[in-house]
């Protein structure tokens, strides 16, 4: 009996290892890094998602339409609205991303994506994999870049979260060995670690940031986190001007709320799950997860999104229109930056800082005690059009 159980588990693990070794071969082959200057039109897919997604995606689209008006009318940029990445449709076809929608997404160079509901055990939906995770894997979006800034507290962090490996690589492929024994897997590859860590160091170098922190739990999770840390320390030698240190995730979560110590952190690179958790904590310090955007970068495709989920409860309670659109608009700024419109991205970032952190003439509370997303967005657009935008922003630095 026991032999049979173990054989079944071994076969399962064997299949997973095959898939992972294939994936590593694909990373080794590599994709050419896309050059947006050479592309016309740059196709930007806009995916509403579900829950509050379509509401906040819509506001982000309005902002981009204003800031990219010239390029949209000259044909340098094209927007494509991609409908149907909803939990209902995904449940109907029992796939994290329906085939036709995946095809549409692959026709775009970059996408702006609203949150999508991730079914949990016990939900009325089939237990399909998260659309986010599936897209990250499918499009090989290996870097999840999440900036968090709170100027008044001296906080200016950029997290580089590994986005295709760690506990997420096989998060839906664990095994119930028996009724009593469940096993999940975590995966770290040399190639996967190198590319994210190098990207983080390159970012530090390019932006004259002299500090980079590698976060793991390598004292306990010795093999996979140990590998990530060791590779990080090796790569650090190529960047002598960037001071690299390493912290364990537990004490890191503590230090992020230590007003004296947290200022020292600048660029942080970390495996998937730790990055997931730490960036929510960091975003909370900035004003909540509703305020933070996130870039999922690969060599060929990139996807920009909010860091939070679809908040179905807000929709059920009729509060969707009060959802804070800042996360999606920040994601839109990151998208513009990524495709070569750095100045306009900076301008939008400043306007967001002014409206949501400094001036706060309107505040989103997620309910009728605050502004609607639409009202907030109108306020933001007025701020963008203010000829004193830069001076205003400087006042608060």
| Element housing 267 (H / E) | strand 267-270
Of 51 and 325, CB closest to ligand IPM: 51
Residue of 61, 86, 111, 132 interacting with ligand IPM (CB under 6 A)? 132
| Element housing 57 (H / E) | helix 53-67
61 binds ligand IPM (CB under 6 A): no
Q: Which does 189 bind (CB under 5 to 8 A by kind): Mg ion, ligand IPM, none?
A: none
Q: Which two tokens stand for residue 51?
A: 């829950």
Q: Which residue is nearest to Mg ion (CB)?
A: 276
Angle value at C-alpha 107, between 104 and 110, nearest 5 degrees: 100
Only one residue has tokens 């409908």, namely 83
118 binds ligand IPM (CB under 6 A): yes
Q: Determine the size of the site formed for ligand IPM (CB under 6 A).
A: 7
Of 130 and 186, CB closest to ligand IPM: 130
- The interface mask with ligand IPM, positions 305-344, x = CB under 6 A, is --x-x-----------------------------------
Dist CA 175 CA 13 (whole Å): 9
177-216 binders of ligand IPM (CB under 6 A): none
DSSP state letters, 332-389: HHHHHHHTT-HHHHHHHHHHHHIIIIIS-SS---SSTTS--HHHHHHHHHHHHH-TTH
CB distance 350 to 357 below 8 Å: no
Quote the DSSP letter at residue 29: H
176 phi, psi to nearest 5 deg: -85, 95
Residue of 58, 86, 111, 130 interacting with ligand IPM (CB under 6 A)? 130
Binding segment (CB under 6 A) for ligand IPM, from list 128-136, 249-257, 260-268, 315-323: 128-136
214 phi, psi to nearest 5 deg: -100, 125
Minimum CB separation from Mg ion for residue 308, in Å? 7
Q: Which residue is nearest to ligand IPM (CB)?
A: 130
Binding segment (CB under 5 A) for Mg ion, from list 46-54, 189-197, 216-224, 274-282: 274-282
SS3 1: coil
Of 231 and 307, CB closest to ligand IPM: 307
276 binds Mg ion (CB under 5 A): yes
Quote the DSSP letter at residue 129: P
Q: Which does 140 bind (CB under 5 to 8 A by kind): Mg ion, ligand IPM, none?
A: none
Minimum CB separation from ligand IPM for residue 138, in Å? 14
For 331-370, b where at least 16 C-beta lie within 10 A, e where not — what string?
bbbbbbbbbbbeebbebbbbbbbbbbbeeeebebebeeee
Of 174 and 309, CB closest to ligand IPM: 309
158 binds ligand IPM (CB under 6 A): no
Minimum CB separation from ligand IPM for residue 385, in Å? 32
Dist CA 75 CA 86 (whole Å): 29
Q: Which does 132 bind (CB under 5 to 8 A by kind): ligand IPM, Mg ion, none?
A: ligand IPM
Quote the DSSP letter at residue 141: -
Q: Determine the size of the site formed for Mg ion (CB under 5 A).
A: 1
302 binds ligand IPM (CB under 6 A): no
Q: Which two tokens stand for residue 250?
A: 């537990």
276 binds ligand IPM (CB under 6 A): yes
Dist CA 229 CA 45 (whole Å): 36
Minimum CB separation from ligand IPM for residue 310, in Å? 8
Give the β-pairing of 42-47 and 77-82.
parallel
3-state SS, 38-53, equals HCCCEEEEEECCCCCH
Binding segment (CB under 6 A) for ligand IPM, from list 52-60, 96-104, 126-134, 191-199: 126-134
Quote the DSSP letter at residue 187: B
Minimum CB separation from Mg ion for residue 312, in Å? 16
Of 225 and 276, CB closest to Mg ion: 276
* Contacting residues toward Mg ion, per CB under 5 A: 276
* Contacting residues toward ligand IPM, per CB under 6 A: 118, 130, 132-133, 276, 307, 309
């Amino acid at each position: 009996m026991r032999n049979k159980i173990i054989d079944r588990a071994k076969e399962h693990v064997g299949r997973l290892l095959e898939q992972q070794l294939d994936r590593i071969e694909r990373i080794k082959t590599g994709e050419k890094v896309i050059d947006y200057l050479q592309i016309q039109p740059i196709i930007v897919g806009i995916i509403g998602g579900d829950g509050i997604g379509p509401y906040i995606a819509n506001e982000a689209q309005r902002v981009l339409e204003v800031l990219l008006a010239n390029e949209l009318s000259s044909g340098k940029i094209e927007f494509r609205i991609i409908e149907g990445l909803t939990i209902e449709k995904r449940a109907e076809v029992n796939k994290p991303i329906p085939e036709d929608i995946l095809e549409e997404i692959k026709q775009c160079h970059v996408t702006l994506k609203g949150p999508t509901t991730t079914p949990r055990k016990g939900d009325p939906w089939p237990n399909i994999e998260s659309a986010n995770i599936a897209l990250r894997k499918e499009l090989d979006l290996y870097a999840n870049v999440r900036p968090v800034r709170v100027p008044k507290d001296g906080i200016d962090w950029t997290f580089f979260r590994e986005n295709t490996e760690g506990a997420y690589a096989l998060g839906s492929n664990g095994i119930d060995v028996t009724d009593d024994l469940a096993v999940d897997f975590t995966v770290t590859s040399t190639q996967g670690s190198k590319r994210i860590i190098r990207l983080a160091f390159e970012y530090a170098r390019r932006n004259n940031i002299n500090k980079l922190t590698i976060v793991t739990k390598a004292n306990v999770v010795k093999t996979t986190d140990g590998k990530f840390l060791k590779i990080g320390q090796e790569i650090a030698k190529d960047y002598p001007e960037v001071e690299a240190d390493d912290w364990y995730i537990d004490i890191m979560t503590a230090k992020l709320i230590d007003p004296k110590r947290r200022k020292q952190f600048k660029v942080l690179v970390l495996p998937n799950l730790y990055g997931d958790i730490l960036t929510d904590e960091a975003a909370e310090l900035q004003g909540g997860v509703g305020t933070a955007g996130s870039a999922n970068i690969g060599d060929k495709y990139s996807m920009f999104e909010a860091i939070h989920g679809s908040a179905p409860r807000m929709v059920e309670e009729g509060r969707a229109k009060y959802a804070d659109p800042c996360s999606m608009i920040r994601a839109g700024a990151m998208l513009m930056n990524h495709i070569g419109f750095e100045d306009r991205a900076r301008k939008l970032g400043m306007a967001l800082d002014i409206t949501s952190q400094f001036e706060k003439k309107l505040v989103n509370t997620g309910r009728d005690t605050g502004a609607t997303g639409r009202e907030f967005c109108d306020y933001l657009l007025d701020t963008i059009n203010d000829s004193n935008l830069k001076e205003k922003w400087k006042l608060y630095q």
